Amino acid sequence: MKTRNRFFAAALGLLLLGAASSGWAQPKVWMTPAEIMAALKPGQWVQMEGTIQKDLTIMCTQLKIMTGDFLDDDWSLVGVVRKVDQEKQQMEIMRIPVKVHKDTEYENEAGTFKGFSQVKVGSFVEVEGTYLKDGTFLAKEVEDESQKLAEDSGLENTIEAEGKIERVDVAKSTFTVMGMTIKITNQTKSRSVIR
């Protein structure tokens, strides 16, 4: 989907730029947790992946601080569907209510995912759209990625998100995106380009 394509295009661009102008870009280095926390600011866009804990905090395993122009509908969320309400046309990923509407697009690799009626508890989906101030995610696109869950059951407890940072708590090494508390640890992988 476009979120991943944009991420891979940016990564490829940085790689090519570094190769083309070795005097300009130095090798990438891993950021320490303290460096990551110092770099995070409310309002910044990030792309993260992490493991869901019993208390529903997320241990961040990968983080990318995004730069550029983002639209209100550039948010994304990837995870297991925990609840489905067919009548309200709403599902829940983590504790985030995800609503669909008549113009929401549905897709999967096989081309067989056609509508909300096919969303089930336990489905592994990627949603793209807008995160609203009331804590609801309004999906413009839903992609069923359940085949990935069948291939790797470890994905059941993972979450991926792209969105805007709401809060940063340096003392606790946490930040919040879409109401989810995300913890930075020594295992968090985040890179920066040194000029």
- Is pLDDT at 14 greater than 90 in this prediction? no
Are the CB atoms for 41 and 158 separated by under 8 Å? Answer: no
Fold of 30-192: OB fold (Dihydrolipoamide Acetyltransferase, E2P) (2.40.50)
The conformation of residue 34, written as its DSSP 8-state character, comes to H
Closest CA to 94 of 59, 52, 125, 35: 52
Mean pLDDT of 48-75: 93
Q: What is the pLDDT of residues 88-142, one digit of tens each?
A: 999 999 999 999 999 999 999 888 999 999 999 999 999 999 999 999 999 999 9
Closest CA to 185 of 32, 49, 29, 45: 32
Distance CA 186, CA 138 (A): 34
Mean pLDDT of 30-39: 91
Q: Residue 3 CA to chain centroid, in angstroms? A: 9
| Confidence class for position 31, pLDDT limits 50, 70, 90 | confident
Q: What pTM, to 2 d.p., does this model score?
A: 0.81
